[in-house]
Amino acid sequence: MKKVSNLQFKAPLFDTLLAHAKRNVTSFHCPGHKNGRSIDKELENYTGEEVYKFDVTVFDEVDSLHDPVGPIKKAQELMAQAYDVEHSFFLVNGTSVGNMAMFLAACDSGDSIIVSRSSHKSIMAGIIMSGVWPIWVQPEINQNLDLIFSTTYSQIRNALDRYPESKAVFITSPTYNGVVTELSKIVDLCHRRGKIVLVDEAHGAHLHFNQQLPESAVEAGADLCVQSTHKTLSAMSQGSALHFNSKLIDFNRVKKIVSMLQTTSPNYLTLASLDLARRQVYLHGEENFDRVIKAAEWGRSCINNNISSMKCFTRQEIQKLGFDLDITKLTVNVTKTGLSGYEIESILAKEYNIQLDYADLFNLVAIMGEGSNKTDVEIFVKALESINKKYHGKQKNWILKIPSLATEMVIRPREVFLSNNTKKS
Q: Would you say 16 or 96 has its CB closer to ligand PLP?
A: 96
Interface with ligand PLP: number of residues (CB under 6 A)? 11
Select from 125, 122, 191, 117 the least CA-distant residue to 155.
117
Q: Give me the least distance between CB of 94 and ligand PLP, in Å please.
A: 2
Interaction of residue 172 with ligand PLP, rule CB under 6 A = yes
Print the binding letters for residues 88-117 with ligand PLP: x by CB under 6 A, - otherwise. ------xxx---------------------
DSSP conformational letter for 369: -
In whole angstroms, give the CA distance from residue 105 to residue 97.
Answer: 12
Q: Give me the least distance between CB of 277 and ligand PLP, in Å please.
A: 13
Amino acid at 372: S
Q: Give me the least distance between CB of 178 and ligand PLP, in Å please.
A: 11
Q: Would you say 176 or 323 has its CB closer to ligand PLP?
A: 176
Interaction of residue 202 with ligand PLP, rule CB under 6 A = yes
**Helices 121-130 & 94-106, crossing angle to 10 degrees?**
30
- Which member of 181, 216, 240, 333 binds ligand PLP (CB under 6 A)? 240
Q: Would you say 52 or 176 has its CB closer to ligand PLP?
A: 176
Q: Would you say 94 or 266 has its CB closer to ligand PLP?
A: 94
φ and ψ at residue 148, rounded to 5 degrees: -100, 130
In whole angstroms, give the CA distance from residue 135 to residue 132.
Answer: 9
Interaction of residue 234 with ligand PLP, rule CB under 6 A = no
147-148 and 133-137 as β-strands: parallel, antiparallel, unpaired? unpaired
DSSP conformational letter for 117: S
φ and ψ at residue 136, rounded to 5 degrees: -75, 140
Q: Would you say 94 or 139 has its CB closer to ligand PLP?
A: 94
CA distances in angstroms from 393 to 220, 345, 363, listed in the order given: 45, 16, 16
Interaction of residue 229 with ligand PLP, rule CB under 6 A = no
Decide if 289 contacts 241 (C-beta within 8 A): no
Q: Is 13 helix (H, G, I), strand (E, B) or coil?
A: helix
Q: Would you say 62 or 274 has its CB closer to ligand PLP?
A: 274
Beta strands in 56-111 (DSSP E): 87-91
Largest CA distance in the chain: 66
Distance of CA 32 to the CA centre of its chain: 32
Q: Would you say 200 or 370 has its CB closer to ligand PLP?
A: 200
Q: Which residue is nearest to ligand PLP (CB)?
A: 94
Q: What is the residue-wise DSSP string for 312-347? A: E--HHHHHHTT-EE-TT-EEEE-GGGTS-HHHHHHH
Interaction of residue 152 with ligand PLP, rule CB under 6 A = no
- Which member of 140, 146, 182, 200 binds ligand PLP (CB under 6 A)? 200
Q: Would you say 52 or 323 has its CB closer to ligand PLP?
A: 323
Q: Give me the least distance between CB of 256 and ligand PLP, in Å please.
A: 21
313-332 positions binding ligand PLP, by CB under 6 A: none
Q: Give me the least distance between CB of 139 and ligand PLP, in Å please.
A: 12
- Which member of 35, 228, 270, 273 binds ligand PLP (CB under 6 A)? 228
Q: Give me the least distance between CB of 76 and ligand PLP, in Å please.
A: 18
Q: Would you say 96 or 331 has its CB closer to ligand PLP?
A: 96
Q: What is the dihedral of CA 213, 184, 140, 180, to 10 degrees?
A: 10
Q: What is the residue-wise DSSP string for 199-247? A: EE-TT-TTGGG-TTSPPPHHHHT-SEEEE-HHHHSSPPTT-EEEEE--S
In whole angstroms, give the CA distance from residue 369 to residue 231.
Answer: 7
Q: Give me the least distance between CB of 276 and ligand PLP, in Å please.
A: 18
Q: Would you say 120 or 336 has its CB closer to ligand PLP?
A: 120
Interaction of residue 176 with ligand PLP, rule CB under 6 A = yes
Q: Give me the least distance between CB of 326 and ligand PLP, in Å please.
A: 12
Q: Give me the least distance between CB of 289 and ligand PLP, in Å please.
A: 19
Decide if 326 contacts 319 (C-beta within 8 A): no
Cα first-last separation, the chain: 58
Interaction of residue 178 with ligand PLP, rule CB under 6 A = no
Q: Give me the least distance between CB of 122 and ligand PLP, in Å please.
A: 6
Name the site residues for ligand PLP (rule: CB under 6 A).
94-96, 120, 122, 172, 176, 200, 202, 228, 240
